[in-house]
Structure 1
Amino acid sequence: MRQQCLRAIVFASAVLTAAATAVVGAPVPSAAAEPGLVVSPGMEIRQDLNVCTLGFVDLQTRTGYTAGHCRGGGVVNDRNGVFVGSQTMFRDNTPDGATVATDYQISDWQTIALAPEVVINDVLPGGRPLVADPSVVPTQGQRVCHFGIVTGESCGTIESVNNGWFTMTNGVVSKKGDSGGPVYVPTDDGRAVIIGMFNSTWGSLPAAVSWQSINQEIREEVVTSSAGTVAPPGPAVPPAA
């Protein structure tokens, strides 16, 4: 089992509300973000040699979210190697192996300070706005969908709710590269409410870390790091040319 990792690279605000795939010969990051480049949930992001899916975009704080095990050295690029932001915080204690005890608490998230030059939105590739609603929580049998850059959108039901994470069945699929992708509940008004981010496949069941657990851990980390002092995140700094 990997030792739990926790660090704060760039300080983040208090309300920042296993399957990464390696890429050989990944593009060299550009010196700055491209003005007008659109960053949205469900897009491909690259960190060093890891390719993953962006899980959520907070429009108010300009913060992106993905899986903690997708992290790299700090620079986050799009699929073309263009800089989109910088890693700020992460937790990742995803176990090694093919199975995990249901009472084990999985932590697997990362926050990204998005570059000021990029244009952000909250719209999934299928057209639904991805929103957060604390009243919508994972429940057994609940209909959910997952989006990943490799498998696209797949839908099914929640098989089991565990210690901060849940497994899915009846049609939900995922492959390497889908890590960090959003898991959400489609609503009748055309939106999608996020309830988790994809973590790994345990046994034959795709699994996600719950959105509520992620936000609780972020609040705990910010309080610990700041000793009660809250400061907003600094702007994303592009790599040197």
Structure 2
Amino acid sequence: MFVLVSVETPALGRAAVGVTAYPGLEIHQGSVVCVIGFVEPQMRIAFSAGRCNGDPMVTDRYGNAVGAVTLAGQATVSEVAVDGAAAGVDYEVITLAPEVAATDLLPTGLRLQSKPGFRVQPGARVCEATAARQRCGRVDTVTESRFVIAGMDADQHEIGAPVYVLDDDNHALIAGLLDGVRGSISEAQSWPAVMRQVYLDSRSVDSTQPPPQGRTIGS
């Protein structure tokens, strides 16, 4: 079962001068702590995992307004598939507050890019970044919508963080959003699957309006 949550943008608190939304930023929604996984600066939207949507208001760790959730899909399937990856795709789309600066630069300084048609393959080395650190592992299994990573040793508070591949030119290509941690095994939602679900859900909310991303952000 997939629950779609369409949220009218609430009144946003005023952001402190200097607040920047970037992939890897720690965010707070009520009592839930997560991480932004992708930022589209021109459209001024950010993405994270749907399970982070404990409250539509999004702040940074200091309580400064970052934005508000305007669309969210929450997977309610609790069963685990044979390969260890939970079924379903969940996400949230965050509209950034007017005073917040937006960048697609990772904490490492690399620009996080979305490449249409790119899908991660088993054995690929992937990394996950937050403001505090970058850690990497190897992709174990891959399904249509998810993949499992061994040896990355992420943290539960890093759910929603960007998982990316460094190509031969040292470009960071988004592969997915961190969605689960069990010891040294991490799970991520495939970025193409997230984008496809956002597109379908936004059409079902209002078929007369374009998707919230305005254009395809890599699929």
Q: Would the TM-score normalized by the shorter structure come out above 0.5?
A: yes
Higher relative contact order (CA 8 A, sep 6+): 1
Tell whether 2:7 aligns with 1:9: yes
Residue number among 21, 26, 38 corresponding to 1:44 in the alignment: 26
The amino acid of 1:4's aligned partner reads F
CA offset at residue 72 of structure 1?
Answer: 2.0
2: CA distance, partners of 1:136 / 1:191: 13
Deviation string, structure 1 residues 49-92 (Cα, Å, up to 9, x no partner): 00111101011211111110011221000010100100011112
Q: Give the aligned residue type for 1:33.
A: A
| 2:70 corresponds to 1:91 | no
Partner of 1:14: none
Query: One-letter code of the match for 2:112?
Result: L
Paired position in structure 1 for 2:136: 155
1:227 aligns with 2:207: yes
**Take 1:91 and 1:80, find their aligned partners in 2: how far apart are those partners?**
26
1:81 aligns with 2:77: no
Q: Deviations over 1:147-186 (max 9, x none)?
A: 2467x311121101013000011x3121121100000011
Structure 2 counterparts to residues 76-225 of structure 1, below 5 A: 76-93=58-75, 95-96=77-78, 99-102=80-83, 105-148=87-130, 152-169=133-150, 171-201=151-181, 205-225=185-205
Structure-2 separation of matches of 1:232 and 1:137: 22
- Aligned partners of 1:53 and 1:149: how far apart in 2? 9
CA distance in structure 2 between the partners assigned to 1:163 and 1:9 by the alignment: 28
8 A Cα contact 1:148 1:174, kept in partner: no
Give the whole-Å Cα distance in 2 for the aligned partners of 1:143 and 1:90: 29
Secondary structure of 1:206's counterpart equals: strand
Over aligned residue pairs, what C-alpha RMSD do you find? Answer: 2.3
Q: 1:219 to 1:231 in 2, by over 3 A?
A: closer
In structure 1, runs of 5+ residues without a counterpart are: 12-29, 234-241
Amino acid at match of 1:92: Q
Given that 2:145 and 2:189 are in contact with CA atoms closer than 8 Å, whether structure 1 keeps it comes out as yes
The alignment of Structure 1 onto Structure 2 pairs a total of residues equal to: 210
Q: What SS does structure 1 have at the residue aligned with 2:121?
A: coil
Superposition TM-score, scaled by structure 2 size: 0.86
Give SS of 2:141's match. Answer: strand
Q: Percent identity of the aligned residues?
A: 31
Letter in 1 for 2:178: F
Structure 2 equivalent of residue 34 of structure 1: 16
Please state how far the C-alpha of 1:223 moved relative to its aligned partner.
1.2
In structure 2, what is the Cα distance between the partners aligned to 1:94 and 1:202? 19
Matches of residues 47-66 of structure 1 in structure 2 within 5 Å?
47-66=29-48
Shift of 1:95: 4.5
Contact 2:22 2:104 in 1 (8 A): yes
